[in-house]
Amino acid sequence: MLRKEQNDLVTQTGPGTPMGDLFRLYWQPILNSSELPEPDCPPVRVKILSERMVAFRDTSGKIGLVDEFCAHRGVSLWFGRNEEHGLRCPYHGWKFGTDGKCLEVPSEPAESGFCNKVALKSYPIVEKGGIVWTYMGPADKRPPEPAWEFTEVPENHCVSKKRISECNWLQALEGGIDSSHVSFLHRGDLSTDPLFKGADRANNYNFADMKPVFEVVEHPGGLYVGARRNAEDEQYYWRITQWVFPNFTMVPPRADHPLHGHFWVPIDDESCWAWSYLYHPTRPLHDYELQAAKDGKGTFVKYVPGTFRPLANKDNDYLINREGQKAGKTFSGVEGIAMQDQSLQESMGPLVDRTKENLVGTDNGIIMARHKLMRAAKELTENGTLPPGRTPEEQMIRSIAVVLPRAQPYKDVAAELCRAAPGKKHQTV
């Protein structure tokens, strides 16, 4: 468990907080490119790390991310007119460019130079892998552009979506690095979900050994979280989950199914964006895989129409089916792997009190991730030490599933097998 001050440290990400300063040293996903489909389209609200912004694509196609509120009298620029290379406030006509600089103040003479004295806060943007990313930290500490493998593969190899999760980012992330719950919470879906079924060998290992042993190993960008289960012929079945600073997780694959994982991006301290990506490194996604993502299968969800909120949510008790739960159709009664996770993460409340926990051996990955986050935030605050996970070398990684002799430590092969490379098949069982 954590002390209250430790829990506050790892969960609070607003401006001026230690963890907020750490998060701002990374490129974070904020929008699907499709949310800004064309030049001069309507602006989009963006809230991230407790800051309210608007994003817009100007006449030339360039994207800007600026303070939501006009520098004049604080009107929301979400109501603005996106026109002629800038976003114009509808109240008094003040106009701002993608860099936040004021372009026009109609009531002031141009020769007064008043525009040159006014600017909105703005952040740099890159578009990559069908996603709009932003960097919110100091300009002199800006890292290279995102280099996750799913952003590098051909467009038809990947799909990514986001959803609102109504809880703090950390309890969502901790679910992403907890492999022990799979044999219980998701057991009814491993053989039926189109993005999981058919992996009979891997699924049988999960069902046959319900007590995985965890071995957690550090790597340059974060942790390998190894879950070990018994296999045949004096071997172990290993599922190696990746966690990379501060909020990236990847789920070990099954058979030839695509790789998948998440970013958990704080909206504020009581909600986050759960970004899910699905990609295959060596082939296009099949039509049934694309359809499954569209239908809310695997790590995806169905939405309340016109929103990014899951259709199953806390207001309707996640559409829980008690009869189906009792009959064994699903272990929890909630349909869909993603919603099974999210329903329980949200059930803890928007911000879980970790002073009341009773942790066990299968929580070692979570324990180590917390301590690494706290240590990195402290070193950044006290010494200016930059945290890990910011370089392409640390980001070009994969999760793996592998069967090894019992005498062979998985860490001996993890670095090579978990390394991503163009054309290289993923290691799976």
Q: Is residue 297 within 8 Å of 186, Cβ to Cβ? A: no
pLDDT of residue 329: 79
257-308 pLDDT tens trace = 999 999 999 999 999 999 999 999 999 999 999 999 999 999 999 999 999 9
**pLDDT band per the 50, 70, 90 thresholds, residue 361:** confident
pLDDT at 207 exceeding the cut of 90: no
pLDDT recorded at residue 191: 76
Rounded percentage of the chain residues whose pLDDT exceeds 70: 99
Question: Which of these, 84, 114, 119, lies nearest to 102 by C-alpha position?
Answer: 119
Name 162's bridge partners.
275
pLDDT of residue 215: 93
Q: What is the pLDDT of residues 54-106, one digit of tens each?
A: 999 999 999 999 999 999 999 999 999 999 999 999 999 999 999 999 999 99
49, 24 contact by CB (below 8 A): yes
DSSP 365-409: HHHHHHHHHHHHHHHHHHH-PPPSS-SHHHHSB--EEEEEETTS-
Q: In what order do the strands lie in the sheet with 102-104?
A: 81-83, 86-88, 95-96, 102-104
Find how far residue 295's CA is from the centre of its chain: 20
Higher-confidence residue: 347 or 328?
347
Decide if pLDDT at 167 tops 90. yes
Q: Could you read off the pLDDT of 377-392 as tens digits, one per residue?
A: 999 999 999 999 999 9
Q: What is the pLDDT of residue 183?
A: 65
Q: Which residues contact 140 (CB under 8 A, 6 or more apart)?
A: none
Confidence of residue 178 (pLDDT cuts 50, 70, 90): confident
Residues 298, 337: Cα–Cα separation, whole Å: 6
Count of helix runs (H) and strand runs (E) in the chain: 12, 19
Euclidean distance between CA atoms 282 and 316, whole angstroms: 40
| pLDDT score of 197 | 86
- Banded model confidence at residue 324, pLDDT cuts 50, 70, 90: confident
